[in-house]
Amino acid sequence: MSSLSGAVLGVSDLRGSDLGGSDLRGADLRGADLRGANLSGANLSGAKEDLFKILDSAPNEVKGLLDYLNAGKVDGSTYTGECCCLVGTIANVRGCNYEMLEGITPDSNRPAERWFLAIRKGHTPENNPIAKITAEWVEEWIEKNKEGESA
């Protein structure tokens, strides 16, 4: 298992790379080309756990976030605009400024926001492995929270 924890992989061409089993916690994926990369078994727990914490603070916006991901309307490099990062997209869905989100503080160093740096406008679960994994995590969060509602 290789550790890429904290690595700066921006603008790296990792197309087709086998990153299975790699520790990617805290890696800066901004601009990295991950098309076709194998991320199975990679340690992504820090990003996933942090994403779930953010989603816990914005449960009413989660389905909207998933819609934006599926439509290729996420750009992890900016907090504002039609296509923006995790926190910015939640703000867009809620209809407020990203700095006004109760319970969510914008922090470009937090694992979930760093993860979203690898998602650009036009990236969807069908053409980008990070968008695909992210959509799967969001769907998992939705399912987990449906179970909690019926209990």
Q: Is the pLDDT of residue 125 over 80?
A: yes
Helices H / strands E in the chain, number of each? 5, 0
**Residue 139 vs residue 2, higher pLDDT:** 139
Mean pLDDT to the nearest integer, 101-115: 94
Mean pLDDT of the chain: 81
At residue 9, the pLDDT reads 47
pLDDT confidence of 38, banded at 50, 70, 90? very low
The pTM of this model reads 0.72
